[in-house]
Chain A
Amino acid sequence: MGYTITEKILARAAGLPSVRAGQDIKAKPDFVLAYDFPGYTDVYFKTMKEDFGIERVAEPERFGIFIDHMVPTATAKEEELHINTRTWCAENNVPLFERRGIGHQVSAEVGYATPGAFVVHFDGHVSQLGTFGTLAIGLRRNVMEAFVSDTVSIRVPHTVRVNLHGTLRPGVMARDVFHHLVRTLGPSSCRFQVLEIGGPAVAAMSTEGLQTITGLAMFTGALTAIVNPDPVRLDYALPRARKKLDPVTSDPDAQYSAVHDIDLSQLEPIVVVPPTPADTRDLTEFLGLEINAGYLGSCASGRLEDMRAAARVLSGRQVKSGVSLHIVPTSQELMAAAAREGLIATLVEAGAFVSSPSCDYCFGRIATMTANQRAVSTGTLNVRGRMGSPDSEIYLCNAAVVAASAIEGRIADPRPYL
Chain B
Amino acid sequence: MALKNLRGRVAFIFEQVDFDVDQIVGVKNIKITDVEELAKVAMQEYDLDFAAQVRPGDLLVGAGNFGYGHPHYPPMKAMRHLGITGVIAESFSPGYWRGEVSMGFPQVSCPGILGFVRRWDEVEVDWAAGVVRNHSQGTEIPFESLPQADAEMIEAGGLVPFLKRQAAQQHEQKEHAHVRSGS
Q: Which residues of A contact B (CB under 8 A)?
A: 24, 47, 51-52, 124, 138-142, 144-145, 148-149, 153-155, 187-188, 191-192, 218, 221-223, 275-278, 381, 383-386, 390
Contact = CB atoms under 8 A, between A and B. Distances in A.
A276 B170 contact: no
B18 A187 contact: yes
Contact of B93 (A141, A145, A149, A191): A191
11 contacts: A52-B163, A52-B164, A145-B159, A149-B170, A153-B148, A155-B147, A155-B149, A188-B18, A188-B93, A276-B69, A383-B70
B149 A154 contact: yes
Contact of A221 (B20, B30, B94, B102): B94
B148 A275 contact: no
Contacts of A51: 160, 164
Contact of B68 (A149, A154, A188, A223): A188
Given A52-B163, A276-B69, A381-B69, 12 more contacts: A47-B160, A51-B160, A124-B95, A141-B98, A144-B159, A149-B170, A153-B152, A154-B147, A155-B149, A187-B18, A277-B68, A390-B27
A69 to B, nearest CB: 15
Contacts of B147: 24, 154-155
A275 B65 contact: no
Interface string B142-183: 000001110010000001100110110010000000000000
B149 A24 contact: yes
Given A141-B159, A221-B93, A223-B94, A187 B22 contact: no
Nearest to B101: A142
B30 to A, nearest CB: 7
4 nearest CB pairs, A to B: A153-B149, A188-B65, A385-B27, A390-B27
Interface in B27-66: 27-28, 30, 64-65
B26 interface: yes
Contacts of B163: 52, 144-145, 148-149
A390 B26 contact: yes
B112 interface: no
A188 B148 CA distance: 23
Contact of A191 (B30, B65, B159): B65
B42 to A, nearest CB: 16
Given A140-B98, A276-B69, A188 B20 contact: no
B130 interface: no
Interface residues of B, number: 33
A223 B98 CA distance: 11
A383 B22 contact: yes
A10 B58 CA distance: 39
Nearest to B65: A188
A276 B68 contact: yes
A142 B159 contact: yes
B134 interface: no
A188 B147 CA distance: 19
Majority-rule SS of B interface residues: helix
Contacts of A218: 94-95
Given A153-B149, A385-B28, A142 B102 contact: yes
Nearest to B26: A390
B91 interface: yes
A209 B27 CA distance: 32
B65 A221 contact: yes
A55 to B, nearest CB: 15
B95 A140 contact: yes
Contact of B20 (A52, A191, A276, A390): A276
B160 A278 contact: no
A158 B68 CA distance: 20
Q: Which of A138, A140, A154 gathers most chain B CB within 10 Å? A: A140
A188 B97 CA distance: 13
Contacts of A275: 20
Nearest to B99: A140
Contacts of A385: 27-28, 30
Contacts of A192: 94, 97
Nearest to A139: B98
Given A154-B149, A191-B65, A384 B18 contact: no
Interface in B80-109: 91-95, 97-99, 102
Contacts of B65: 187-188, 191, 221
A389 to B, nearest CB: 8
A377 to B, nearest CB: 14
A276 B23 CA distance: 12
A74 to B, nearest CB: 16
A155 B97 CA distance: 14
Contact of B27 (A188, A277, A381, A383): A383
A281 B167 CA distance: 49
A385 B25 CA distance: 13
Contacts of B27: 383-385, 390
Contacts of A276: 18, 20, 68-69
A144 B148 CA distance: 18
B161 to A, nearest CB: 10
Contacts of B17: 188
Contacts of B98: 139-142
A313 to B, nearest CB: 29
A269 to B, nearest CB: 23
